[in-house]
Structure 1
Amino acid sequence: MLKYLLLTFLVGKTLLIGKIEVEGVKALSKSEVKSILRMRRGDKYYPPLFNSYKQNLLEELKESGYFDARIIEERVKEENDRVYIYLKISEGPRYILNSVQISWESEDTLFFRKTMNILYLTIPLPYSSALLTKKETEALDFLRNQGYLKAAIERIVTRDTIQKRCGLLWKIEKGPRYKIEKIEIYGNKTVRRAIIEREIKIKVGQYVSPSAILECIRRIYSTGLFKTVYHTYEYLGDSSVKVLFNVEERKNRYIRFQGGVYPFELANINVELGHRNLFDNNQNLSLRLENGFELFNGFAKLYGELLYSEPYFLSTPLKFNLKSFGGTSKVDSTSFAGLETYLSYYWTSKSRSIAGLQWRKFLKGQYSEGVTNKFLFSTVLDKRDDQLYPTRGYVVQLNLSRAGGVLGGDYHFNKYDMSISTYVKIWKPKGVLALRFTSGNLIPLFSSTIPTIEKFKIGGDGTLRGYRYSEFYAISIYLINLELRSTINSKYGLCLLTDIYPQIGGKVFFSAGLGFRYFLPIGNLRVDWAYNPHRFKEKGYLGNLYINLGEMF
């Protein structure tokens, strides 16, 4: 390749890809073939590089069982500084895996049956290296989590080129089983060692489990005090190891900015200042200010909150939270201030429950005045495969509250709302159907009125795109959001969207539109355009545009 680059430099001629046509490949989709060849129209043409991509394509076919795949015709035509490439490939028949043998290369048979169950295959079946790799990974993960850190599986495949069949032999070597002899922590300079130790749930004397260690790392990360956490092993003999946790601290004080723009309608700017380790025990104190304003009418809302959080409250796994808040809203025609305290418990890394009390005083308002005392409960069950860009799984959120009654106050009601979001991969690599259903109800008690701020607000980004922010207020809600998401490449994606709001006993409001995604490490930059057909006759209406960070659901 260096020789070719030197020649190109001396001659001064650069050839570009005009077109690449591949014929005869049925085992892979066109997009998969393109991703393997890694050359697009307009790219520079380097023959050595292209030759390596051709071999990668043949290797990919062999990985799928087409061991006889070969190039039977190749044409490279140069025309007007462009190169036009044609490949014709003969896949040949797909080999069938018709025998599997396992050699247990250890004297003891501990975990033999479990490992066999993981590696079990129903034969005959078409050969697939991806399937075998998945089985091997699952078996190795199991053995290593039992302490066999050096477990290995060797795959030997024999082929019958006449019958087009193949046999598989797995050689399994468990190696020694390791116990934890020491646990050490390095890198903490200002954070107390005890804060890290309480997040480490592995113990000296236990067999080493990489998955348990990764859970410890996740817990250490979740404190918010560290920007880097990783582990290493130090082997102390044939059966014991030292586990070393290495951390790099973050600055305790921080400031964050976040914003969203709904062009020609509303803009939000959020500022948060905080301290992650206030009293040297991972207590967090944060001040958050949110300012919303209409682009042509000025101020819309202002909200602020001061939140204190303390993990391991009274030496329990509960997290204590105390929040004071206040705000004023032109949309709701009210101003308020209040206090809220609640306990939260994370029963998995992504699922949690909270229970608490809230006091809110309406300072002035066109529709609300007086005091609201509420009991709060909320729970989230998150089974998504990825929180930033989920492709499968679901998340359920349930919120319950009871105002008044024995708690006193001027308003008495029960309120609940539940949302269920589900994600289904409908094509590869990332074609996803995302659906969210939201239901809620407000039930007044003792002939009480309902404060406007407690009613469900529908309209704008987050609920019903294409409509004005908080265009509808309701005591009952049914809302459907549907998106068809697809990636263009590793950086960009597109989305078709529709939102539906059927009013109880009334007509159905809905919108439809398009979305663009730019993928960032911290989340997706989301640009959605939605059209409201009920405003079709409105002069100058061209739909609503929303710009935000992260998916709507």
Structure 2
Amino acid sequence: MSSATKKIVKEVEIVIKGGVKLDENRVRSQMSTRVGQPFTDESMERDMRSLYGTGAIESINSHTVDVAGGVKVVVEIVGRGGIAEIQFIGNTAIDKDKLKKEIAVKVGDPLDESKLAAAQQKIIDLYEKKGYADASGSYEIMPSAREGYSTVIFKIDEGARGIIRDILFEGNTAIKSRVLRGKLKSQEHHLWNLWGKKGKLNHNDVQEDIKIIEMAFKDKGFVYAKVTERRVVPVSANKIDLVYVISEGAKYDVSAVKITGNTIFTKEALEAGVKAEPGFPYMGSHIEADKKMIHDYYGSRGYADAQVEAHITETGAGQVAVAYTIVEGTKSYINKVNISGNSFTKDEVIRRELPFAPGEELNTVKIEAGKNRLQNLNYFSAVDTQNTPTTAPGYKDVNVTVTEQSTGTVNFGAGFSSIDSITAFIQVTQTNFDISDWKDFRGGGQRFNTNIRAGALRRDVTISWTEPWFMGRELAFTVEGFFHNLYYLSNFFNQTNVGASAGIRKRLGEHSYFETTYTLQQIKIGSIASGASPLIAQEAGSYIQSKIDMNFVNDTRDSVFITRSGHKLEAGALLSGLGGNVPVVGANIGGQQYFNLPGDTILSFEGMFRIVNSWDSKRVPIFERQFLGGANNLRGFAYRHAGPKDATGEPIGGLTSFYASTEFSVPVHITSNVDKSPRVVFFGDIGSIAGATGATSGNGMIFSDAGIGLRLFLPVGPIRVDYAVPIDKDNRSGSGRVQFNMGYKF
């Protein structure tokens, strides 16, 4: 390669040689050599290492040609031949057809080392799910009879199978075995663990569990607590008991805390975030949190190489001093951000999730946040970030390596609720959709979903598409087409909605967002029963609705599944009638608040106020009125029956509504996993609807109930069962009601 140091790159020519086709744009994305930048031998060498690292390159030759004002860089590349055959050796528990189907490597694919490594790990994962915790494997690349192609041989050592019957502890006195068992990743095998890794011995989980056990004791002041032995005790041909032997040691309090080695930042600035305090019990999690806090303090200011060590010294009977020692390192900036491992996902989809860019301080907190955002996309089975030095002093490259996974799913299932009875559904989803790629329709970071649902009391079809970065901005744009045929709303009429909507959602900070949706739909009220009152009969007909919904949400809940703390607050508005024949305005405000109390009990409050009215002389149609009653608000009443009714007892809805609920949730520890343990809830609901025209009962009345419920978390999904007894009611309400639902209440 000729030397052209300090000359400006005027052109970069990529020449693909051989019979293997490569994507020129993909090649360029792996290179730092760019038109308009100075050319250096060092940068070209880094580019060659980066290209070889993709696993798709057999050989590279580069040279420069002097041109007016600089140099032309010519890169000649020969791609690696594809895969002619895939073989498996040593597999008896899983047949080769199953393995071929599960791995992402296929015959005809380019030979890519990173994909082969991912396929090898996938094979190990499959064995671990079946309980073969000792399974190991490797792969070998052999020449094929087909010239320019290779045979890939996966070699598997299955090891022995281990299904966990019980998890036992020895030597623990400060923490009960039941409590320890509930903290572990490993779990006992149950009848419902037929699939997946749960209930099967996994050595990675065991190593994590040892750390969890030791930290549990250290958090209670046992500084030197250790798991001294881990035994696997066979109890049958396939089943084992897992035994942890624990040495607790003595319990300590903190006598002193100090920080040394800091010269760039003041001790006062660092101490402000330290959790360990003199005079309080020693807590291992506080020590780890302090180390991370100090490391992040430096790392968020460009000192990516800063190191923090914690030294524990006994200072007397039951007393220890904690000393944090810092090695600060030097400040760094970002030179380049390199993306690799993405065969389908576009580079721009990955880069837009990264909150850092070349030229900025190398902020390790932002890098970790970017890694988490990529993992949360669920496009990748693994995401790795590394900082590597460059030849430029004070600058580092950030290398982001991803391993892609399947993002398309087809789900079949059934559900049941006391509102709409039993329903079956088919759902097709692609979470990494690309509407512009008519070959594969994936890699663009969009979401496509089709849902068909049918049951005794409803028929639904919805098709939706979401672009999360509309117009290149962090702005989610969604379009949806829908058909809803709803029989469960009333015994006296059916309602059908057909239409489409388009909406925008904008995130506002970490916990808030604003969204607005425009909907154009036709609504038909038909099949009026012969015994319906005039109030119901007058609703028959076809309506065209053109409406805009706006909503602001602030959501700090720690989880949408089992919420223990935080809140969700929302406020919204509705404007209908700018076109069509439904002139309605409305508003709502409400929220939820959760408190985690001792014993992992949860106290929650929920409430909502809604108002709707017509902005001309027309009545508000029944599909826009307010209703209460059912599994989601006043549980002691039938669906929509806690409010105004006509002479036949049929709900007719009103113009204003409010409801409030409180729940106290208590776990029942019959499983080791606290998030899978059943919960008993005690609750009370209250609400009222007013503004009904022609109602003979219930208008403006207070309705209330109290009851008890059960929450089950099964592999088929969560189940909510509530029994509530009405307290304040009208003369048409019953004496008690069971509400049943499958799914989470968002």
Residue in structure 2 matched with residue 136 of structure 1 by the alignment: 291
Residues 336, 364 of structure 1: 8 Å contact kept: no
Counterpart code for 1:548: M
Which one-letter code corresponds to 2:280 in the other structure? L
Tell me how far apart the structure 2 counterparts of residues 65 and 223 of structure 1 sit (CA, whole Å).
39
User: For 2:450 and 2:187, how far apart are their aligned partners in 1?
Assistant: 50
Q: Does 1:289 align with 2:484?
A: no
Q: 1:95 to 1:384 in 2, by over 3 A?
A: same
Contact 2:386 2:398 in 1 (8 A): yes
Q: Report if the CA contact (8 A) 2:254-2:276 is conserved.
A: no
Report the residue type matching 1:373 in the other structure. Answer: S
Given that residues 719 and 741 in structure 2 are in contact (C-alpha distance below 8 angstroms), is that contact kept between their aligned partners in structure 1? yes
8 Å Cα contact 1:357/1:375 also seen in 2: yes
Indicate if the aligned counterparts of 1:492 and 1:519 stay in contact, CA closer than 8 A. no
Aligned to 1:213: 367
Cα distance, 1:282 vs structure 2: 3.9
Instruction: Report the secondary structure of 2:516's partner residue.
Output: strand
SS of the residue 2:386 aligns to = strand
What is aligned with 1:514? 709
- Name the CA distance, whole Å, in 1 between partners of 2:376 and 2:217: 43
The residue that corresponds to 2:323 in the other structure is 169
Q: Residue 322 in 1 paired to residue 479 in 2?
A: yes
Counterparts of 1:317 and 1:460, CA distance in 2:
37
- The AA in structure 2 aligned to 1:425 is N
Residue 453 of structure 2 aligns to a residue in which SS?
A: strand
Structure 1 segments, 4+ long, off by >6 Å, are 16-23, 33-40, 56-60, 66-69, 89-92, 535-538
Distance 1:228 1:39, change over 3 A: closer
Q: Which residue of 2 aligns with 1:228?
A: 381
Give 2:80's aligned residue.
Answer: none
* C-alpha RMSD over aligned residues: 4.3
Match of 1:202 among 356, 380, 384: 356
Give the whole-Å Cα distance in 1 for the aligned partners of 2:548 and 2:314. 68
Superposed, 1:358-369 pairs within 5 Å as 358-365=519-526, 366=537, 367-368=539-540, 369=542
Q: Provide the rounded CA distance (Å) in 1 between the counterparts of 2:414 and 2:574.
A: 29
Whether the 8 Å CA contact 1:463–1:499 is kept in 2: the answer is: no
2:712 aligned with 1:549, yes or no? Answer: no
From the superposition, tell whether residues 511 and 525 of structure 1 become closer, same or farther in structure 2 (CA, over 3 Å): farther
Q: Do 2:628 and 2:687's aligned partners in 1 also have CA atoms closer than 8 Å?
A: no
Choose the corresponding residue for 1:304, options 428, 447, 461. Answer: 461
Mapped contact 1:282–1:310 kept (Cα < 8 A):
yes
Equivalent residues of 2:423, 2:455 under 8 A apart: yes
Deviations 1:79-111 (CA, angstroms, capped at 9, x unpaired) = xxxxxxxxxx9998x65434332211x5x4246
In the alignment, does 2:572 pair up with 1:439?
Answer: no
- Say if 2:577 is the partner of 1:414: no
CA distance in 2 between partners of 1:487 and 1:209 (Å):
44
Change (3 A) 1:148 1:258: farther
8 Å contact kept, 2:275–2:287: no
Residues 320 and 33 of structure 1: CA distance in aligned 2, closer, same or farther (over 3 Å): closer
1:482 paired to 2:655 = no
Q: Name the structure 1 match of 2:270.
A: 115
CA deviation map 1:491-533 (0-9, x unaligned): 323131425132243142324122132266xxx9322222232
Shift of the alpha carbon at 1:147? 3.4
Task: Find the counterpart in structure 1 of residue 552 from structure 2.
Answer: 379
Aligned residues of 1:265 and 1:468 also touching (Cα < 8 A): no
1:185 aligns with 2:339: yes
3-state DSSP class of the match of 2:339? Answer: strand
The Cα shift of 1:177 comes to 3.5
Per-residue deviation at 1:36?
9.2
**Residue of structure 2 in register with 1:72 after alignment:** none
Residues 406-438 of structure 1: CA deviation (Å, up to 9, x unaligned): x1432322222233111211024x332232222
Q: Post-superposition shift, 1:252?
A: 6.2
Separation in 1 of the partners of 2:351 and 2:169? 59
Shift of 1:128: 3.4
2:60 corresponding residue in structure 1 = none
Question: What CA distance in whole angstroms lies between the structure 1 residues aligned with 2:507 and 2:248?
Answer: 55
- The Cα shift of 1:307 comes to 2.3
Does structure 2 retain, via aligned residues, the 8 Å contact 1:65–1:96?
A: yes
**Letter of the aligned partner of 1:142 in structure 2?**
Y
Higher Cα Rg: structure 1 or 2? 2
1:436 is paired with a residue of what secondary structure?
strand
Cα 1:519/1:169, change in 2 over 3 Å: farther
Question: Whole-Å Cα distance in 2 between the matches of residues 59 and 230 of structure 1?
Answer: 27
Partner of 1:456: helix, strand, or coil?
coil
Matched to 1:402, the amino acid is L
TM-score (norm 1): 0.74
Matched, 1:334 2:495: yes
Answering whether residue 717 of structure 2 is matched by residue 532 of structure 1, we say no
1:442 Cα offset (Å) = 1.6
One-letter amino acid matched to 2:460: Y
The one of 141, 157, 166 aligned to 2:312: 157
Q: In the alignment, is the contact (CA less than 8 A) between 2:415 and 2:422 conserved in 1? A: yes
Q: CA deviation at 1:547?
A: 4.1
| Equivalence for 1:86 | none
Is this contact kept in 2: 1:181–1:241, CA < 8 A? yes
1:42-57 paired onto structure 2 within 5 Å: none
1:519 and 1:525 in contact (8 A); partners too: yes
SS in 2 for 1:533: strand
Higher strand share: 1
Q: Which amino acid aligns with 2:660?
A: I
Give the counterpart letter for 1:417 in structure 2. N
> For 1:527 and 1:228, how far apart are their aligned partners in 2?
29
**TM-score if structure 2 supplies the norm length?**
0.57
- The residue identity in structure 1 corresponding to 2:259 is I
Distance 1:245 1:529, change over 3 A: same
SS in 1 for 2:517: strand
Q: Which moved more, 1:200-209 or 1:243-252?
A: 243-252
Q: Which residue of 1 aligns with 2:113?
A: none
Corresponding residue for residue 5 of structure 2: none
Instruction: Report how far residue 257 of structure 1 moved.
Output: 4.0
Give CA deviations for 1:143-170 in whole Å, capped at 9, x if unaligned: 23333334333323333435x5443322
User: Are the counterparts in 1 of residues 552 and 570 from structure 2 also a CA contact under 8 Å?
Assistant: yes
Query: In structure 2, what is the equivalent of residue 402 of structure 1?
Result: 575
CA distance in 2, matches of 1:417, 1:311: 26
1:394, distance to aligned residue in structure 2 (A): 1.1
Q: Tell me what 2:396 maps to.
A: 241
Query: Which of 269, 273, 283 is the matching residue for 2:428?
Result: 273
AA partner of residue 195 (structure 1) = V
Q: 1:149 to 1:335 in 2, by over 3 A?
A: same
Provide the rounded CA distance (Å) in 2 between the counterparts of 1:547 and 1:470: 16
Does structure 2 conserve the Cα–Cα contact (< 8 Å) formed by 1:64 and 1:130?
Answer: no
| Aligned-partner Cα distance in 2 for 1:289–1:17 | 43
Q: Percent of aligned pairs with the same residue?
A: 16
CA deviation after TM superposition for structure 1 residue 341, in Å: 2.0
Q: Which runs of 5+ in 2 are unaligned?
A: 1-165, 189-208, 226-246, 438-443, 527-536, 643-652, 690-699
Aligned residue number for residue 352 of structure 1: 513
Is the CA contact (8 Å cut-off) linking 1:312 and 1:318 kept in structure 2?
yes
SS of residue matched to 2:662 = strand
CA distance in 2, matches of 1:198, 1:303: 35
Aligned length: 487
For the structure 1 residues 278 and 254, does the alpha-carbon distance in structure 2 shift closer, same or farther, using more than 3 Å as the test? farther
Deviation at 1:393?
1.1
Q: Which runs of 5+ in 1 are unaligned?
A: 1-15, 41-52, 70-88, 294-299
- Whole-Å separation in 1 of the counterparts to 2:568 and 2:419: 32
